[in-house]
Chains A and B, each alone.
Chain A
Amino acid sequence: MKKDLSTRVILIAVFTLICGFYLQFSMRYWLETRKLNAMDEETRIEYLRENGARIQALRERIITLGLDLQGGMHVTLELDTPQLLIELTQGSADAEFREVLTAANGRAEANRTNLIDEFVTEFTTRDPNARLSRYFRSDADNITRRSTNEDVVAYLKTQQTSAMDRAVEIVRTRVDRFGVTEPSILKQGSNRIITELPGVDDEQRVRNLLKGTARLEFRTTPEPSELTAALQSIVNLYQPAAEDSGAVSPLLEVFQPIGQGVVMGYASALDTARVRELLLASTVVRYWPRETHLLWTSRAETTGDDGTGIFGLIAVRSTAELTGEAIIEARPAFNPETNAPEVSMTMNPEAARVWSRITGANINRAVAIVLDNAVVTYPNVISRISDGRSQITGLGSQAEADDLVNILMSGALPAPLEIVEERTVGPSLGAASVTAGFNSAVAGLILVAIFMILYYQVGGGIADIALFSNIFFVLGILAAFNATLTLPGIAGIVLTIGMAVDANVLIFDRIREEMRGGKTMLAAIDSGYRNAMSAIIDSNVTTFLTAVILFSFGVGPIKGFAVTLMIGIAASLFSAIVITRVILDYLTRDRSRSISFG
């Protein structure tokens, strides 16, 4: 018995030392931040210059707080796989292709299956003899006109994987250039990317930065007089008959026509889809000059009375003359005359020649620079530009110019990314949650500890020691694994406080029962531990199993809940069984002392 006791004491000591070692980083970091917060600006800078590297090193080993506790932005992006397939056809996607794709996409979403598989099934059901190689070619991957459907499918799947990898890389480059401390960018499944950006407070910039395809296009515009005439005819067409005095034009209800140059008019952000629908309806679409495309401006021109943004509708030609691939360099700059921020771009020589021709042919006409299907700027060409330079002007701020350069230089995404989930928590709410979680944990701990002493007296005191060491171990293990603590995670710890004493309750109740049965104290303790064991194991295994399941299916903060619950259960078993037993064995070492279990 004695020998056994010393091995267990060593085990506890080792475990305590390990947890203590990992926890001291968090402790020291916390002390440093307190010290820093108390300093005035000047001393802080001075102090950081001397100790910055040391504090940074500490920071890497502390228990990280989740986004819900420190504030920040969690964004899940989804790669537009249908669009990727269309891109891969290199322009040979016809109406039939798109029809098959839409049908396949609907089924893939409904059945949670792979889009490429659904696409092939749909394709071959429609025409068993049709070959996918009609649309897809690649010299590099040896996909030719004679390639079998299986070869093409394999090729498409590799392309999908590599497109995802590329997208993750590009998102990472953009986030790094944006400058976020400790971002996390992870691939999830076959088409999603999870980005966690702690401390981000400018959500709009991040949204644009993450999902921007960086599809930059230079487009020429149709003849203004033809546009004005077309707009006039369409407005007239929607005008209700004169005798019907009560009626209003459905178009004018949502749209304010201007028809000045290439600006067709203005509409509220709420109505943009409706306006395009009305202006491009099959009954009126023939009025527009050939090859006309209607696009909204990328940012609101003004704000309406009720606070919604008002966007401009710009007419451009439907084909792009040049794309972002032509850009070899982009940098933020200031307009020498107005001092407004802009982005200055340099094109490769081949594109420079095209640009020179376009600008030459469009003097005094507008040329639109389109980014991700929204018109960023539409300046009038003053003279031919032959050095391959161009500027994006009309930017809102220096930050916008920086972000645009970032997007242009990080490379274009293989297909658009869509934000399917966004959760942002402000730092103040996060701080309030930390306080709330901390208070609950402390209050819960005190309540349970007092109850245990009242109910089991000395035994309860021993169980309390186990309870406090349990919390210490949970935090130590979290620190050792560099785990992230979320608000549900704290809830998990609080719940563990309540459930951790269960093992001791089982044991002590059993000891009381054995003593009632007439056993001596020592024998009762011994059989109490032994007989309670199977119930302890069974009940903890079942709770642990549900936590594991929660962990594998849950996302984000819920995972944090499951993690602390699992660690809590494991640690509580150790503290409630091993630690309390060592203390009891020590207290009863001279065999005469009696211990009260209440």
Chain B
Amino acid sequence: MSNELDQLRAAIEEIWEFSAANTPLDPFPIHFEIVPPGVMYEIGAYGVPGRFSHWTHGKAFHQMKTMYDYGLSKIYELIINTNPAQAFLMEGNNLTQNKLVIAHVIGHSDFFKNNAYFHHTDRQMAETAGVTAERIRAYEREHGEKVVEEFLDAVLAIQEHIDPNLRVIRKPRDPQPQGPRRSRGTEFDDLWELRKGEEPEAPGAPMRRKIPEEPEKDLLLFLLEYAPDLQDWQRDVLNIVRNEMLYFLPQMQTKIMNEGWASYWHSRILREMDLTPDEHVEFTRLHSGVLSPSPRGMSINPYYVGFKIFEDIERRWNGDLTEKERREYRERNHGAEWPHKGKGREKMLEVRELENDVSFLRNYLTSHLIEDLDMYIYRREGDEWVVVEKDWRKIRDMIVESMTNFGYPYLVVEDGDYRRARELYLKHCFDGRELDQNYALKTLRYVHQLWGRPVHLETIVDEEPTVWTYDGEKEVVEAHAAA
């Protein structure tokens, strides 16, 4: 065993030094840990080691473990976005597998450190998660495991509805909706100024401050600040979950880029390093296993797509365009020639710094790549899934759309005092895709559990505005709604 450890230590040093000398990568330092498969899957399921306990983590862990036991999937690489980064090597993997993983995660570590979307992530997340897990454990002891679990069930159901652009927790605002205080209130004078020119209030109707003043995308933050009946520990749990999601969101937003970047660099590093012929054969086999279309054809392989796009950027900005590409560029640009030459790496570094998956795909997934990657749109027709579209623009737009808002419907809080009864009114910003009604109604129950009063969700069904409501007793579906 110590022999294996020595071999790995040598491999890590060799690859690390090679990468430092021969690539522009600028990663966080990485601490590698050798773990048995069970622990590897556990960390994969929790996202960060030491995170709080919840049965959904147990479910994810079980699924990963089952996949592994049946040989359906293998996590070869796992790295945590912290500084220093923590990477995991699986006991029982051979040296070549581990070399590939080591080179691959150096790419990830560089991406974590340099991509703009990660700039505000908590680089001590492993410690933070451990501390907050302990706090949640204490709440379980104080309030009962079941009570905490049920609260977490509700929070986790809506955990994606946060706004990563709001990084600072604003000072909690006065949670009481208030009418104007005409008698005293110089501090409100500016409010009266703002209302000038608007329709005058009906005489006698009480004025109210709108809550939220602007539609609020961050549902978790809104609940944290305004949910009327939450106890302190519940607000703390909301905040814990929200902070963890702020940490995980950049990873969800850059899956294709991040994997493409890491794959690009593991292939470059290992290709240029001295490998024995046996190692080289094994590496080639592993590499093509990672970079192949998904076997069922119903999804895309982020490693493969991201890898090809980065290679394509390098080629084009180096100036190695095909004649067809040059002609197409001239046609689109009034006869001007493609201006880029010898800037491949530079452009790649810029892209890895500034883009996320949505902009990456929108800007760099070209018609040639879509053709080359054999991408298509499929649809279910009867009992079959059939390829229905090969038009590259439609394919690109669909994949970009599916990743917008991390793949979740975009909801905002419209009114926290709906019907002046402190009911919660959410609005789905409709983009042409309808919501799953059954799921939405079930999720509204969770929102109700957190808000404590009736909750509403406005959306579009069959081109009609519709409001779904859960009032604590029954679900109501009402078409032709008006907010």
- A and B: partners? no
Listed in ascending order, the chain A residues whose CB lies under 8 Å from chain B are: none
Listed in ascending order, the chain B residues whose CB lies under 8 Å from chain A are: none
